[in-house]
Amino acid sequence: MENKLELPVYFGIKAGMTRVFNSAGVHMPVTIIKIIPNFISQVKTKDKEGYAAYQVSYLEKKKKLVNKPTRGHLNKAGVSGDFTKFSEVRLRDSDADASNLGKQISLDMFKADVIVDVSSVSKGKGFQGVIKKHHFAGGPAAHGSHFHRHPGAIGNRATPARVFAERKMPGHMGCENVTIKNQKIVEVNEEKGYLLIKGVVPGSLNTIVKITKAGK
């Protein structure tokens, strides 16, 4: 454990859902998160970059899929894996320690019954109308109304002679960053490489999931 670092953030992969039974025999829906290696690939300090942060690298791929600048960046940090995803974890100025460069992040802060916030990219729904996207009521279902699932009026004519910004319109739905707060970790099994979180986690299969220790 000497070469591992504790951080309140960890990145995994959504592997699906299942259910488990508690001691009372009641079933509980859980999301399976595949545990993947997380390494510190850069230490940013107040003096050099203007703020303190750790850059976390994860999602290892085949060597031929990693370009030379990325491979050189990882080699400079002493990280042996061919990682393709990078995220920053902001710190207080005094917490940035250059000696942590190249260390693997441990799961010691994420044990069973720990409350976490889970962030991921939601499933894409394609181009949708206002009824599905914004839950508009729609018009009468009668044959002669000629107004069933349309958005209705979107602005005035002469004044202001334009459509206001942020008007709820048809468009692309999904593929947004979604965070669900205060989810409970049910089980952590590092030997088999999975972590169970109670309830639903946003995103489709094989989506990157950010797990953060809850602040509240």
Tokens 């459509």 -> residue:
163
Total count of domains within the chain: 2
pLDDT per position as a tens digit, 125-176: 999 999 999 999 989 999 999 999 999 889 888 888 899 999 999 999 999 9
Backbone φ and ψ of 67, nearest 5°: -75, 165
For residues 110 and 145, membership in a common domain is answered with no
Same domain, 22 and 107: yes
Co-location of 139 and 92 in the same domain: no
H helices of 78-207, where?
130-134
| Residue 96, number of CB atoms within 10 A of its CB | 20
Domain that holds residue 152: 130-173
Task: Give per-residue pLDDT as tens, 3-18.
Answer: 788 899 999 999 999 9
CATH code, domain carrying 100: 2.40.30.10
Residue 2, judged by CB atoms within 10 A of its CB (0-12, 13-18, 19+), counts as exposed
| Co-location of 134 and 53 in the same domain | no
pLDDT in tens, 33-48: 999 999 999 999 988 9
Same domain, yes or no: 106 and 28: yes
Same-domain pairing of 23 and 84: yes
Q: Are residues 49 and 143 in the same domain?
A: no
51-69: per-residue pLDDT in tens? 999 999 999 999 999 999 9
Give the separation between CA 170 and CA 57, rounded to whole angstroms. 37
Which parts of 37-91 fold into alpha helices (H)? 68-77
Please tell me whether residues 72 and 142 are part of one structural domain. no
Per the prediction, the chain carries an average pLDDT of 92
76 and 151 housed in the same domain: no
Position 202 scores a pLDDT of: 93
Strand partners, 88: 55
Residues 68 and 134 in one domain: no
Pairing between β-strand 4-5 and β-strand 104-105 as defined by DSSP bridges = parallel
Give the separation between CA 36 and CA 61, rounded to whole angstroms: 12
Tokens of 213: 């220790």
Structure confidence by residue, pLDDT tens digits, 187-208: 999 999 999 999 999 999 999 9
Res 125: pLDDT: 95
